[in-house]
Structure 1
Amino acid sequence: MKNNEVRKLPKKTIIIIIVLILAGFAVFMTLKTLKEEKITEILVTLGHKDIKNLEVINKLKVEDKETRYKSKVYKVRFYDKNLNKTCIGFIHMDRYNKNSEDLDCK
């Protein structure tokens, strides 16, 4: 039978791997926080002033078939304290940064 020798990773390599994992996690959390703050500002302009538990489910880039203009659609879920309801739906940002909403609050 063969004896396979298993070598340990050097400490320097382990430290580099840990630093890269922590840096990736920090970048992910920063981008998530910035996206949620951006959506919060948009919701305030659309009339939802007092919200909590905002969750950006996904972001889509869409294109109008007739005009060929590109825009963004965010799918969001949040709790509106003024209405005492949980809202879920879409926020559409067109190319002129005009926002529209299609929310269902229950």
Structure 2
Amino acid sequence: MSLIMNYQTRKLPKKSIIMISILIVLGIFIFYTMQTLKNEKFKQVLEQLDYKDISGLKVVNRMNVEDTITKKKSYVYKLVFHDNVQNKDCIGFLYQQDSKQYTKDIDCK
């Protein structure tokens, strides 16, 4: 005796498909906007640190760090960009202190 199972699938309502599509498009738009704003922020920071003409800026990651002596938390950002003035590719770190001051450790090759 063999048991044959008959499965039926129910189609999603059009309203649900439209809502899911809108949420996906909205999510992609928000992600792209956040990436663009983050890159513009660091482009301005690099201009203050004497990197005036850059292209291809990418923020690779952000790390939370804590000073062992003062126990203050801050951030370290890893950046990759091309310096058009020196015509070199640069990679390095920006250390953000509490007062929104940045310290650089950037190597260009």
TM superposition score normalised by structure 2: 0.94
> Based on CA coordinates, which of the two structures has the bigger radius of gyration?
2
1:38 aligns with 2:30: no
Is 94-103 or 76-85 further displaced after alignment? Answer: 94-103
Tell me the equivalent position of 1:86: 89
2:32 to 25, 29, 32: 29
TM superposition score normalised by structure 1: 0.96
Q: 1:4-60, CA deviations, whole angstroms, 9 ceiling, x for partnerless residues?
A: 111111110100111111111111111111110110000000000000000000111
SS in structure 2 opposite 1:13? Answer: helix
Taking the TM superposition and a 5 Å limit, the aligned residue runs for 1:8-19 are: 8-19=11-22
Show structure 2 runs of 5+ residues with no match.
none
Q: 1:51-105, CA deviations, whole angstroms, 9 ceiling, x for partnerless residues?
A: 0000000111211010011111110000000010000010111011111110111
1:95 aligns with 2:75: no
The count of aligned residue pairs is 106
Q: Which runs of 4+ in 1 moved over 2 A?
A: none
SS in structure 2 opposite 1:37? Answer: helix
Counterpart AA for 1:50: D
Measured on the aligned residues, the alpha-carbon RMSD in Å equals 0.7
Percentage identity across paired residues of the two chains: 46
